[in-house]
Amino acid sequence: MSKNNKHKKSNRSKSPLKSKVLHFFKSNPKKRVSAKQLCKKLKLTDPVSEVQGVFNKLEKEGILYNIAEDKYRLDRFIVSDEDREMHEGMVDLIRSGSAYIMVDGMEEDIFVPAKHLGFALDKDIVKVEITRKAGKNKKKAEGKVIKIIKRSNSQFLGILNVYKGKGVVHINNSKSEFDIQITGEDLNEGQDGDRVIVELIEHGRDPKKLWGRVSSNLGEMSQNDLEMNSILINAGFNIEFPEEVKRESEAISTDIPESEIEKRKDIRDVLTFTIDPHDAKDFDDAISYEVLDNGVTRIGVHIADVSHYVKPGSELDKEAFFRSTSVYLVDRVCPMLPEKLSNELCSLRPNEDKLCYSAIFDMDDALKIKDVWIGRTVIHSDRRFTYEDAQEIIDAGEGDHADVLIRLNEIAKTYRKKRFKSGAINFETDEVRFRIGEDGEPLSVYIKERMDTHMLVEEFMLMANKSVATYMTKLDTKKPVPFVYRVHDEPNPDKLADFAVFAASLGINLNVDTPKNVSKSMNSLAKKAEENDALKMLQPLAIRTMAKAIYTSDNIGHYGLAFENYTHFTSPIRRYSDVLVHRIIDLNLDKTTRVNKEELESKCKHISAQEKKAVDAERESIKYKQVEYMASQIGETFEGVISGMIERGIFIELVESKAEGMISFEQIGDKFENENAFSVVGKKTGTSFKMGDKIMVTLREADLEKRRLEFELATEESMEESWD
């Protein structure tokens, strides 16, 4: 018998086995069996491994469904409730198109492959069914989305394509791309090529497609405006305020009545100033300083009293809560509040009386806080400093209020040192900034300079946030008063262990056996990274091992800051959490008042979700500008550092511009497998890559539409050309 005939016979011999397996499951639709059990039931002579292979193929074809412990049943039949493990959680899309579902109360996220996401989009709340439990080889459970409970966003911006009276809008961002279908009656007079905002709708038509209607036509706009606005809208943020919100804000009086001043502590005669970025307009915090006759140093942290103007239940309040945060893109701000409030009424501008909520501290000679006063005030800022202005005065030792600035800097450094000694972790990483041209094009890239004045303001804001949270916890130690806390959980021990092993391979020994030793090790790493560029990549990796800070009414403390009690009190112009905090404090200044904890927790979850969306939007705008900046440098060679790994390849962050792109394993010409969580090795060549490795790469492609950079390994020739 020829070799070909043997091959054909082998294929035919497998076909009856598949038929037998299918026949059994169709005859027993409620049965769930393993391959081994089926062999016994049908008295099959085929090896169990071959039967399992048939199971695997039928699962890929969507015919069989793996219930648990490698037991299968027909996928198209409804599984009984006792067989199904369901969870609700939020979708966190990753670059591959797959996602992790973050479920409250579950230590590990649930992995969902792209093919099982359905039409779930980033940050949607979904019901997910576990299809494979977490095991020794698979750290995370796997599942599939069976229902979309709540859309994170129902509006998207894109370019409308019209053909034969129907439309489609292609939506593309750094995490996903998809099409929204538009019927003729839902085009809203939109024409081919128009920039439109599309609202998702549920249609009784083809359920295998997303459907929407054109809600507004944006008309002509530059490519830069289109991209930046699409980032905001596709993340779920309105680029304009509703008319009723604008009317409400414009109707607010700019005058401060004497009757309001009489209700407050008047500190208009005390030296007060703001320190902010040079381009800031929303000054939401100020610092006052005075030395009392008894030698006590009194420092005030004064925060714009947004809650005086934004009343619960108003249209202003509803919109502010919906947004929950201002979003800072590369070249613009999408504010939480209309300009009249953010830049005028609430902004603590110099030489104007302003209403504030304040935390005022009395310190003795040893800088120990002897007394804290919290309440409503009226202030008058004497001077507006930029961070650069204040730093120049501190460095020179002369200028406006030099003695006060120098003293405040000394106090801030003392408290900062004390905080790190108590176990706080230094999470500082490089922040990318752009110099932008008139048309929005990036002219250059630079790293934001971290000055003493940044840390000065930061330290006093931390002091105020901590003191306000502590005040609330002491109101009733037996039955806590519902409040908004900013919490940060301890790190995941498994992630820490993996990271410690990787760090050890680079000669960095980390002690991660206790939370306090973790913080010491992380701070030691940060200090070493200041002197060794090769170790800088370890800091973002270290941060990834940490939990994410969130808002909640359950106070578990803030691990990263080493605070038992912490909240956000100091930025109500740009954070709704702080508005809630001001309101709850106000209710509890004279008597203990408990708001509804369940309602408060629901608000906390919304605010945390909006914060995550804002951070992603900000990163996406940076990514877009980095790709735009690199687009003119195709073919050039750069020094980079390996910053990430996925099944398809490795990610490289360029040393100079901090732009990130990928080299595919296919392009390298080898198959790679993981040595551990942070390194891979080639099967053919034995070539290994690990996170943090420095590497020379050549830019192959800069895809602005997909916001992606593609690199290839640099050749000796390309390196020589770059050096020339």
**Residue 1 identity:** M
Among 111-120, 128-137, 556-565, the minimum mean pLDDT is found in 128-137
Say whether pLDDT at 264 is over 90: yes
Output the average pLDDT for the chain: 87
Does residue 629 sit within a domain? Answer: no
pLDDT digits (tens, 9 = 90+) for 347-365: 999 999 999 999 999 999 9
* Residue 92 belongs to domain with CATH number: 2.40.50.700
Reading the block at residue 20, the tokens are: 């037998």
Does residue 481 sit within a domain? Answer: yes
- Report the C-alpha gap between 454 and 434 in whole angstroms: 19
Reading the block at residue 251, the tokens are: 């109707």
Dihedral angle of Cα 104, 106, 111, 112, to the nearest 10 degrees: -40
Q: What is the mean pLDDT of residues 169-183?
A: 83
Among 291-295, 308-312, 548-552, 717-721, the minimum mean pLDDT is found in 717-721
Q: What is the mean pLDDT of residues 606-635?
A: 93
Q: How confident is the model at residue 65 (pLDDT cuts 50, 70, 90)?
A: confident
Please tell me the predicted confidence (pLDDT) of residue 722.
53
Same domain, 172 and 111: no
The alpha carbon of 390 is separated from its chain's Cα centroid by a whole number of angstroms, namely 31
**φ and ψ at residue 62, rounded to 5 degrees:** 80, 20
Please tell me the predicted confidence (pLDDT) of residue 305.
97
Please tell me the predicted confidence (pLDDT) of residue 206.
66
- Among left, alpha and beta (phi > 0; psi -120 to 50; other), residue 696 is beta
Does residue 232 sit within a domain? Answer: no
Please tell me the predicted confidence (pLDDT) of residue 721.
58
Does residue 293 sit within a domain? Answer: yes
Please tell me the predicted confidence (pLDDT) of residue 77.
44
Please tell me the predicted confidence (pLDDT) of residue 83.
56
Total domains present in the chain: 6
Domain-terminating residue out of 118, 150, 182: 150
Please tell me the predicted confidence (pLDDT) of residue 366.
93
Sign of CA dihedral 74, 113, 491, 650: positive
- Report the C-alpha gap between 281 and 320 in whole angstroms: 18
Sign of CA dihedral 688, 694, 698, 702: positive
Query: By three-state DSSP, how is residue 564 classified?
Result: coil
Same domain, 470 and 412: yes
Same domain, 369 and 448: yes
More confident residue, 158 or 283: 283
Among 169-183, 241-255, 655-669, the minimum mean pLDDT is found in 169-183
Please tell me the predicted confidence (pLDDT) of residue 717.
64
More confident residue, 327 or 83: 327
Same domain, 687 and 656: yes
pLDDT digits (tens, 9 = 90+) for 472-512: 999 988 899 999 999 999 888 878 888 888 788 777 888 88
Please tell me the predicted confidence (pLDDT) of residue 684.
85
**Exposure of 29 by Cβ count < 10 A (0-12 exposed, 13-18 middle, 19+ buried)?**
exposed
> Terminal CA-to-CA distance of the chain, rounded, Å?
65
Same domain, 457 and 497: no
pLDDT digits (tens, 9 = 90+) for 203-250: 656 667 889 999 888 877 888 988 899 999 988 899 999 999 999 999
Q: What is the mean pLDDT of residues 388-397?
A: 96
Same domain, 266 and 374: yes
Does residue 315 sit within a domain? Answer: yes
Same domain, 485 and 497: no
Please tell me the predicted confidence (pLDDT) of residue 387.
96
pTM reported for the whole predicted model: 0.81
Calculate the alpha carbon distances from 174 to 95, 98, 178, 601, 611 in Å. 7, 13, 12, 31, 18
Query: By three-state DSSP, how is residue 188 classified?
Result: coil
**Residue 17 identity:** L
Contact yes or no for 605/330 (Cβ under 8 A): no
Same domain, 464 and 341: yes
Contact yes or no for 174/620 (Cβ under 8 A): yes
Among 203-207, 453-457, 465-469, 553-557, the minimum mean pLDDT is found in 203-207
Say whether pLDDT at 611 is over 90: yes
Q: How confident is the model at residue 573 (pLDDT cuts 50, 70, 90)?
A: very high
Domain-terminating residue out of 52, 74, 96: 74
* Residue 18 belongs to domain with CATH number: 1.10.10.10
Smallest CA-to-CA distance from 436 within 662, 239, 279, 211 is with 279
Say whether pLDDT at 76 is over 50: no
- Among left, alpha and beta (phi > 0; psi -120 to 50; other), residue 569 is alpha
Same domain, 507 and 480: no
HSE-CB of 251 using CA atoms within 13 angstroms = 10
Please tell me the predicted confidence (pLDDT) of residue 139.
65
Range of the domain at 502: 493-546
Laid out side by side, the sheet with 672-676 consists of 672-676, 679-682, 688-690
Same domain, 363 and 278: yes
Strands 177-182 and 166-172 come out as antiparallel
Partner residues linked to 482 by β-bridges: none
Does residue 229 sit within a domain? Answer: no
pLDDT digits (tens, 9 = 90+) for 612-624: 999 999 999 999 9
Same domain, 482 and 513: no
Q: How confident is the model at residue 673 (pLDDT cuts 50, 70, 90)?
A: confident
**Residue 377 identity:** T
Say whether pLDDT at 323 is over 60: yes
Does residue 363 sit within a domain? Answer: yes
Strands 265-266 and 369-380 come out as parallel
Same domain, 447 and 592: yes
Does residue 337 sit within a domain? Answer: yes
Say whether pLDDT at 464 is over 90: yes
Say whether pLDDT at 79 is over 60: no
Domain-terminating residue out of 220, 238, 259: 220
Q: How confident is the model at residue 138 (pLDDT cuts 50, 70, 90)?
A: low
Say whether pLDDT at 668 is over 90: no
Please tell me the predicted confidence (pLDDT) of residue 63.
79
Q: How confident is the model at residue 78 (pLDDT cuts 50, 70, 90)?
A: very low
* Residue 168 belongs to domain with CATH number: 2.40.50.690
